[in-house]
């Protein structure tokens, strides 16, 4: 028994990469469980059409936020630890995305009738319009602050933030459920801004005490090439997740958008495994410029990810019907098939996460953007072409797109001799 516990401890906390990725997984698991419970409340309190509108509006806000993020979140992770003006870099990043997010939110609000006609009613509501803009701003500021915590390999602080905002997410619906769509969106906004406040206090008091937070343009422009590649790559990379609910809303209606959104939320935990391991990998490699060390970290991350991902996907498929049934019989009947497909797609998505991360580590800016564009096109095209046939076909479209991208990344890994069964050789940094 003792040896088993020691092996488990080594698997999850054996080194800094494993420890931080495990803490990130735990933090996002806390958020996922809270989201699961939150949507159970919503599923029983609101009609599927109302939930469909809420999920589509949230996706739209996330899409706008990505368009005005400037790629600064990943830039903070990559360069904050070694920056000579840490406070200036962080403050400059926050101010830049704040200004851009306000402008982007206003433009997105004014363009609802063009981009998502079914959500045009939002522009005639002052409260919903304000919530949309707050979501756009909060999404970007939250990403910057999370990056600051991760830059110093403080995933334990990210876990603390997740616990705080998850508690709020479960308590607030009890007071806001009577406000319908506005209540759902208010919870989303409050949770984001509470997390931002927590992170600001932690960074100023614990991580960067005594730092000057006077921003200068030079703090950002010094990393403009890296930031721009992450901006365009990240913008393209999030298009599938943001556009899929909107495509389904347009082709199949708001109820189908709700029925699809729930299995996506359940399957989110599998994506959390990949994103957490990838973020931990960036954090580890940002501490050194040694290419051999980067390669070793990548191989360790690849093994660690699939040790977690395979059993998690099998378990999720086994319990998926029961989990969706908690939302209601309609969610289980319509969502279980897509859930199984999305769980299988996670095997390919994991490869794509690590592929993006490796190109970022190598500072291969053009390749990073091209691969994200290719992945976005493949997934969105697959969903768009197949969604007319039903929700399970929409999920199959997403799987096919991820599989094609993974095949390309597999070739990149083999050529760079990154796979654990290929002997490593030196590469240029």
Q: Is the pLDDT of residue 406 over 90?
A: yes
pLDDT for 429: 32
Tens digits of residue pLDDT in 26-46: 777 777 778 778 877 777 777
The two structure tokens encoding residue 414: 């083999």
How far apart, in Å, are the Cα atoms of 368 and each of 237, 305, 365, 402? 10, 21, 5, 16
pLDDT value for 266: 80
324-371: pLDDT as tens digits: 888 888 888 998 999 999 999 999 999 999 888 888 787 787 888 888
Q: Which residues of 243-279 are buried (b: 16+ CB within 10 A; e: fewer)?
A: bbbbbbbbebebbbbbbbbbbbbbbbbbbbbbbbbbb
**191: closest CA among 269, 268, 135?**
135
- What confidence tens digit (pLDDT) does each residue in 222-237 have? 777 777 776 777 677 7
* Residue 423: pLDDT over 60: no
How far is 270 from 29, CA to CA, in rounded Å? Answer: 10
What percent of the chain shows pLDDT beyond 70?
87
Q: What is the pLDDT of residue 167?
A: 84
For the chain, give the percent of residues with pLDDT over 90: 20
Q: 10 Å Cβ neighbour count for 135?
A: 24
Alpha-carbon gap, residue 272 to 268, rounded angstroms: 6
45-96 pLDDT, tens digit each: 777 777 778 878 888 898 888 888 877 887 887 777 777 788 888 888 889 8
DSSP string, 82-137: G-S-HHHHHHHHHHHHHHHHHHHHHHHHHTHHHH-GGGGGGGG-HHHHHHHHHHHH
Lowest mean pLDDT among 139-148, 331-340, 412-421: 412-421
| Residues whose CB is less than 8 angstroms from the CB of residue 348 and which lie 6 or more positions away in sequence, other chains included | 399, 402, 403, 405, 406
* Separation between Cα atoms, residue 176 and residue 42, nearest integer Å: 11
105 has a pLDDT exceeding 50: yes
Is residue 312 scored above 80 in pLDDT? yes
pLDDT exceeds 90 at position 293: no
DSSP state of 46: S
DSSP 3-state percent helix, strand, coil across the chain (nearest 5): 85, 0, 15
Cα–Cα distance, 395 to 332 (Å, whole number):
15
What mean pLDDT value characterizes the chain? 81
Compute the distance between CA of residue 158 and CA of residue 335 in angstroms, rounded to an integer: 31
Mean pLDDT, rounded, for 314-322: 91
């Amino acid at each position: 028994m003792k040896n088993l516990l020691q092996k488990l401890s080594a698997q999850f906390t054996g080194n800094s990469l494993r420890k931080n990725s495990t803490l990130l997984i735990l933090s996002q698991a806390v958020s996922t469980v809270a989201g699961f419970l939150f949507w159970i409340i919503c599923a029983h309190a609101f009609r599927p059409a109302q939930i469909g509108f809420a999920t589509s509006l949230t996706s739209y806000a996330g899409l706008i936020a990505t368009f005005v993020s400037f790629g600064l979140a990943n830039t903070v992770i990559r360069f904050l630890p070694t920056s000579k003006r840490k406070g200036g870099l962080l403050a400059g990043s926050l101010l830049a995305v704040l200004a851009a997010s306000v402008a982007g939110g206003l433009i997105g609000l004014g363009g609802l009738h063009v981009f998502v006609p079914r959500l045009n009613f939002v522009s005639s509501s002052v409260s919903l319009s304000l919530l949309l803009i707050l979501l756009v701003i909060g999404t970007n500021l939250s990403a910057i602050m999370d990056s600051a915590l991760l830059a110093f390999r403080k995933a334990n602080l990210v876990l603390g933030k997740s616990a705080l905002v998850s508690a709020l997410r479960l308590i607030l619906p009890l007071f806001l459920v009577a406000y319908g769509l506005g209540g759902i969106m208010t919870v989303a906004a409050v949770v984001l801004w509470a997390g931002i406040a927590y992170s600001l206090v932690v960074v100023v008091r614990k991580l960067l005490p005594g730092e000057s937070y006077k921003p200068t343009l030079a703090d950002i422009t010094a990393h403009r090439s890296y930031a721009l590649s992450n901006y365009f790559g990240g913008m393209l990379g999030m298009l599938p997740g943001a556009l899929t609910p909107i495509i389904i809303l347009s082709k199949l209606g708001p109820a189908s958008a709700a029925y699809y959104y729930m299995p996506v939320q359940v399957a989110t935990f599998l994506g959390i495994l990949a994103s957490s391991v990838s973020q931990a990998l960036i954090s580890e490699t940002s501490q050194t410029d040694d290419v051999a060390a980067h390669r070793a970290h990548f191989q360790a991350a690849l093994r660690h990810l699939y040790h977690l991902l395979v059993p998690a996907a099998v378990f999720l498929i086994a319990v998926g019907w029961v989990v969706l049934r908690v939302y209601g019989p309609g969610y289980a009947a319509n969502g279980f098939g897509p859930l199984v497909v999305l769980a299988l797609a996670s095997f390919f998505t994991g490869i794509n996460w690590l592929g993006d991360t490796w190109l970022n580590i190598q500072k291969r800016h053009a390749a990073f953007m091209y691969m994200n564009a290719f992945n976005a096109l493949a997934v969105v095209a697959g969903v768009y072409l197949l969604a007319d046939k039903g929700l399970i076909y929409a999920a199959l479209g997403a799987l096919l797109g991820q599989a094609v991208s993974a095949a390309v990344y597999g070739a990149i890994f083999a050529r760079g001799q990154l796979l654990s069964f290929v002997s490593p050789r030196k590469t240029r940094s």
